[in-house]
Structure 1
Amino acid sequence: MGETITLAGTDGFEFTAYHEPAFTPHKGGVIVLQEIFGIDRHVRADVERWAKMGYEALAPSLFDRLQRNFTAEHDPAGLQAGIAHARATPLEQALGDIAACRDFLNKHGGKVHVVGYCYGGSLAWLSAAKVEGLAAASSYYGSLVQANAALKPKCPVIVHLGRTDPGIPADEVAAAVAQHNPDVPVYIYEGAGHGFNNQSPERYNAEAADLARHRTLELFDKA
């Protein structure tokens, strides 16, 4: 069962992270990057899924400097609170916390990968280009991927997008990535919207989530 631990960021701030050791023979580590709703039950469930697949999993609480252990409901008020926290969190600060998670997982052996959803999907893309020592990255429906498509990843990375996502134009993102990084696969899931991996009833798309996870696991296992 997972537990909350405390890590020191590159700026010295002590932030919390939800941690779960690998259930099966240790394959390495996975940093799980949150949606804007914080380390809620969906993120914790995802951490457990990765642990069951053989990866020590760690989800940093990236808004701790603003509100420790922040979580929000999936409603308009929660959405606005999460957006406000994301906008108030410098990207380089978040990347520093991700680097601290990498260092923690490195102590236990094996390669370290990163997977992120929504806000975390943007950070997964940025991490692939800016954080040293990651083996692979999987970015789910990150709104900042298109604007940062010219960045050059330091590790293998894949991108997942929902065809019906109203906020992220899948074809435009795919074209931008292909222009600057033609070797990066961008997968578009028909019939899936934003947050299709999140198991809340209004967003979850089991077929898309299962296929995206299979592709991510394949990437991590080969990296």
Structure 2
Amino acid sequence: MKGMRGVGNIVQPEIPQEAFDWYDEYAHGDIDRRTFLQRLGTLGIAGLSAASLANSLLPNYALAEQVSFNDPDIKATYVEFDSPDGYGRARGYLVVPAGVSADQPAPAVLVAHENRGLNPYIEDVARRLAKAGYIALAPDALFSLGGYPGNDDQGRAMQKQLDRGKIEADFKAGARLLKSHELSTGKVGMVGFCFGGYLTNELAATLPDVIDAGAPFYGTPPSSEVAAIKAPLQLHFAGLDTRVNGYWPEYEAALKQADVDYTAYVYPDVNHGFHNDSTSRYNEESAELAWSRTLQFFDEKLKG
């Protein structure tokens, strides 16, 4: 069934919505840290300084580990691979389910990070996919600059220095690696968050013979032709995310015109980044529902 769907009302009254909106602007480079803190200072929350409120909005990656890298059901390593159209060499976090072999291959999923590099949350998403039976590869767009630096502010600044076309090429190289991997069935899905949601839409349009299913989370439309998309899409949107949601009507019209198989879900009263369990934007009910839908979608499209 096509169209936008919702899940029950969920609110987080302890942090005013303005703070989440300003954090979104800050996280996407629309305002600098000083402006962000100045705005937070105008809220006048008793017993909570602007700096304390900012810290409550920033990621705590210790909260993001749902699957340990030592889990016996998976094997996690870092791999390098060629990316001739990108930055020459790329690096990603490769997680393989235990028991997968050339004789017993598994479908694969490319995982695309936000606008700050391969952070611990995205690595955990890759492990979650492997735990569910998929070979998962999460490339790091920042590899050519030394890799994710350990904090998001520096990661965002580093990613801004890079050429978007070359980043896309690095992720395309990762998708092709999964397609031809000796342990892969050749079926490749893709999931991405924020900038990674855009990448998921973009690779669905530019690699129609590689991407077999795409699940973008709060991602903007592709810059390439929507009509080129052949893979089914399952799109996830945050109800309070006016920035990304503003692109949806035009994108949906293009998907319909191209007769793309898609389903879109909107989760009311949650913010951009609601799946990221390392931040206060996380909403457990909506995140778990969206993730269960994503896994079911991949099961249907990649394992069937």
**TM-score of the aligned structures, taking structure 2 as reference length:** 0.64
SS in 2 for 1:127: helix
Residue 20 of structure 1 is matched in structure 2 by 95
Distance 1:95 1:149 in 2: 12
Task: After TM superposition, list the pairs within 5 Å mapping 1:62-73 onto structure 2.
Answer: 62-65=141-144, 67-73=145-151
| Pick aligned residue for 1:100 from 165, 170, 173 | 173
Distance 2:272 2:196 in 1: 13
| Pick aligned residue for 1:165 from 218, 241, 244 | 241
**Does 2:205 correspond to 1:135?**
no
Task: After TM superposition, list the pairs within 5 Å mapping 1:2-151 onto structure 2.
Answer: 2-11=76-85, 13-23=88-98, 26-65=105-144, 67-74=145-152, 78=153, 81-106=154-179, 107=181, 108-110=183-185, 111-131=187-207, 132-142=209-219, 144-145=220-221, 148=223, 151=226
SS in 2 for 1:181: helix
SS in 2 for 1:199: coil
Residue 214 of structure 1 is matched in structure 2 by 292
| Pick aligned residue for 1:190 from 243, 248, 268 | 268
Between 1:179-188 and 1:124-133, the stretch displaced more is: 179-188
The 8 Å contact of residues 33 and 115 in structure 1, kept in 2 or not, is answered as yes
CA drift at 1:99:
2.3
Q: Which of the two has higher C-alpha Rg? A: 2
Distance 1:195 1:27 in 2: 29
CA drift at 1:191:
1.8
**Larger relative CO (CA 8 A, sep 6+): 1 or 2?**
2
Root-mean-square deviation (Å): 2.2
The 8 Å contact of residues 135 and 184 in structure 2, kept in 1 or not, is answered as no
Distance 1:139 1:161 in 2: 9
The 8 Å contact of residues 39 and 71 in structure 1, kept in 2 or not, is answered as no
CA, structure 1 residues 149+10, in 2 after alignment: closer, same or farther (shift >3 Å)?
Answer: closer
**TM-score of the aligned structures, taking structure 1 as reference length:** 0.85
Deviations 1:195-215 (A, max 9, x none): 111111412111111121122
One-letter identity of the residue aligned with 2:250: A
Q: Give the unaligned 5+ runs of structure 1.
A: none
One-letter identity of the residue aligned with 2:270: A
CA drift at 1:192:
1.4
One-letter identity of the residue aligned with 1:55: Y
Deviations 1:45-72 (A, max 9, x none): 111100000001110011222x221245
The 8 Å contact of residues 28 and 56 in structure 1, kept in 2 or not, is answered as yes
| Pick aligned residue for 1:199 from 267, 277, 291 | 277
One-letter identity of the residue aligned with 2:95: E
